[in-house]
Amino acid sequence: MTVGFSGDVAEYYARFRRGYPEQVLDALAEYFALDPDDLVLDLGCGTGQLAVPLASRVRSVIGMDPEPDMLRLAREAALRQGVGNATWVLGADSDVPALGALLGRAPSLAMTVVGQALHWMRHEDLFRELLPLFRAGGGVAVVANGTPLWLQDSAWSRALRMRLERHFETELTASCGTAEQDRLRYARTLEAVGYADVRTTTVSYDDELTFEELIGSLYSAIPANQLPPPSRRPAFADGIREALPQEERFTEHVEVSVLLGRVG
Ligand SMILES: C[S@@+](CC[C@H](N)C(=O)[O-])C[C@H]1O[C@@H](n2cnc3c(N)ncnc32)[C@H](O)[C@@H]1O
């Protein structure tokens, strides 16, 4: 179990964390030539942002995550949406060799997608351990879902960051694997361990958040042991509301980057 995404954080994640535009799923389907007979793994699947919509494109999806609360909510989302070909497995990147043993000798995975989660994993070991599990043309997709709310290039985002830095008494610089240098590091590792045709595709769009969506999304990104307790959340939210420009909606420019590599 991870402390970061348990309890209320998982609930906020399921309700408020942005999903992925259809073009991201199209890019994955095209690059790996996904077909209705394929099996894919979504590692660090969270509440199913990628696993659930991917399910309609393949035979079966395995959603794997070490946090039981995230996994439970992913499963519930799948059931609500009538997705009957997803299997939810409690496990971390270090459990990939055990998954490989379950899958057997014939390489059977068309893709392993890691959305917004690789920065918690030993990525070099993971890329290497996944290699023998892929069918021809299968491989890894590392998806970064835009810049964190408090690191964006806008007045409201800068104000949010200042307010949060004052509250948590720390500088907030971690890009959670979304920065260009993270992507380049992952790309170099993919090539070094033997993946071919390593490339990046980017999907950009503008989104508008209400304050409720902004604060819900923010709560989904605060580690569970630092999330203000329910009784203090209204005051915390008021403090943030006062610090932000007095706008009804907050525009964010979202750039989803998809780093791809496959076996020859
Ligand atoms: C920010 S969420 C991403 C969820 C979803 N993939 C998405 O794109 O929105 C990160 C997820 O990674 C999971 N995680 C953390 N450490 C992990 C590890 N070592 N192996 C696999 N998943 C991990 C967390 O439990 C959490 O559900």
List of domains in the chain: 8-147+180-208+253-262 (3.40.50.150)
For residue 117 and ligand 1, the question of a CB distance below 6 A is answered with yes
For residue 69 and ligand 1, the question of a CB distance below 6 A is answered with no
The residue whose C-alpha atom lies closest to atom 25 belonging to ligand 1 is 67
User: What does the block give as tokens for 210?
Assistant: 């209400």
Measured from the Cα of 19, ligand 1's closest atom is 9
For residue 237 and ligand 1, the question of a CB distance below 6 A is answered with no
The pLDDT score that the predictor gives to residue 173 is: 82
The two beta strands, 86-90 and 109-115, are unpaired
Contact 151, 157 (CB under 8 A): yes
The pLDDT score that the predictor gives to residue 1 is: 47
For residue 129 and ligand 1, the question of a CB distance below 6 A is answered with no
- Rounded Cα gap, residues 9 and 78, in angstroms: 19
Q: Supply the Cα-derived Rg of the chain in whole angstroms.
A: 19
User: What does the block give as tokens for 19?
Assistant: 């999903």
> Among 28, 41, 116, which is best to mutate for testing ligand 1, by the most ligand atoms less than 8 A from CB?
116
Whole-number Cα distances in Å, 123 to 48, 148, 181, 231: 21, 21, 15, 39
Whole-number Cα distances in Å, 152 to 66, 117, 145: 29, 19, 13
Helices (H), the chain: 8-16, 22-31, 51-54, 68-80, 96-103, 123-130, 155-168, 180-193, 211-219, 233-243
For residue 221 and ligand 1, the question of a CB distance below 6 A is answered with no
Gap from CA of 247 to ligand 1 centroid (Å)? 32
The pLDDT score that the predictor gives to residue 176 is: 75
Strand (E) or helix (H) holding 256: strand 249-262
Contact 110, 38 (CB under 8 A): yes
Contact 95, 69 (CB under 8 A): no
The pLDDT score that the predictor gives to residue 3 is: 63
For residue 211 and ligand 1, the question of a CB distance below 6 A is answered with no
The pLDDT score that the predictor gives to residue 243 is: 95
- Rounded Cα gap, residues 39 and 111, in angstroms: 7
For residue 92 and ligand 1, the question of a CB distance below 6 A is answered with yes
The residue whose C-alpha atom lies closest to atom 23 belonging to ligand 1 is 44
For residue 49 and ligand 1, the question of a CB distance below 6 A is answered with yes
The residue whose C-alpha atom lies closest to atom 10 belonging to ligand 1 is 117
Q: Note the Cα 15 to chain centre separation in Å.
A: 14
**From first to last of its 264 residues, what are the pLDDT tens digits of the chain?**
466 899 999 999 999 999 999 999 999 999 999 999 999 999 999 999 999 999 999 999 999 999 999 999 999 999 999 999 999 999 999 999 999 999 988 889 999 999 999 999 999 999 999 999 999 999 999 999 999 999 999 999 999 999 999 998 888 887 777 788 999 999 999 999 999 999 999 999 999 999 999 999 999 999 999 999 999 999 999 999 999 999 999 999 999 999 999 998
For residue 67 and ligand 1, the question of a CB distance below 6 A is answered with yes
